[in-house]
Amino acid sequence: MTFAGIPPGAWFGEGTVLKSEQWHYDAIALRPSLVALLPAELFFRILDESLFFNRFLLEHINERLGQLMATVQNDRLSEPSLRVSNCLLAMFNPKLYPICSAEIALTQEEIGYLSGITRQKVNRAVRRLQEVGLVNVSYGRVEVTNVEGLRRFAEASE
């Protein structure tokens, strides 16, 4: 089961460090990636010394909570096109992923894992989104050509 996609430039795992727990999940890079690890001691030192970092972390965790609540609602109430559009929009959260590219290197199968639907339903959903000019689809990639249009589509479909 896939819980999240993390675009380039993003980070994760702060909750585990804050709770001083062992990491309970598998994090798997599906593409060639450069991954850095911030030692817990340094994380806590920055947390103790930087009001800016505290505020950033609080906003970051709040965004993740909002994203989780939206995902639960989306999973329970939405038809496939809306689930796929919300999955793609999650990659464009400027607070969580400030340097996300319009081109998302995800296969339709991977979007299905993230959306909780079959690849076949993802295929129909991305074709629908492509027909209305919101995305371009190529092998192993989806390019969001109109992020605001995709947001409006998602809001209108709720």
Residues 27-39: tens digit of each pLDDT? 888 788 888 889 9
User: How far apart (Å, rounded) are the C-alpha atoms in residues 75 and 56?
Assistant: 28
Look at phi and psi of residue 152 and say left if phi exceeds 0, alpha if psi is from -120 to 50, else beta.
alpha
Q: Strand ranges (DSSP E) for 20-126? A: 103-104
Q: Residue 142: phi, psi to the nearest 5?
A: -130, 125
- The whole-number average pLDDT for the span 125-144 is 91
Return the pLDDT at 45.
97
Asked if residue 24 lies in contact with residue 16, where contact means CB atoms within 8 angstroms, the answer is: yes
Q: What is the pLDDT of residues 85-115, one digit of tens each?
A: 988 988 877 778 777 777 888 889 999 988 8
Say if residues 45 and 89 touch (Cβ distance below 8 Å).
Answer: no
Q: How confident is the model at residue 141 (pLDDT cuts 50, 70, 90)?
A: confident
Rg of the chain on CA atoms, in Å: 17
More confident residue, 49 or 74: 49
Q: What is the pLDDT of residues 42-69, one digit of tens each?
A: 999 999 999 999 999 999 999 888 888 8
Whether 115 contacts 80, CB under 8 Å: yes
Domains in the chain: ranges and CATH: 14-157 (1.10.10.10)
Task: Work out the average pLDDT over 124-142.
Answer: 92
Using pLDDT thresholds of 50, 70 and 90, give the confidence band for residue 2.
low
Helix (H) or strand (E) holding 64: helix 51-77
Q: Round the average pLDDT of the chain to a whole number and report it.
A: 86
Tell me the three state secondary structure of residue 93.
coil
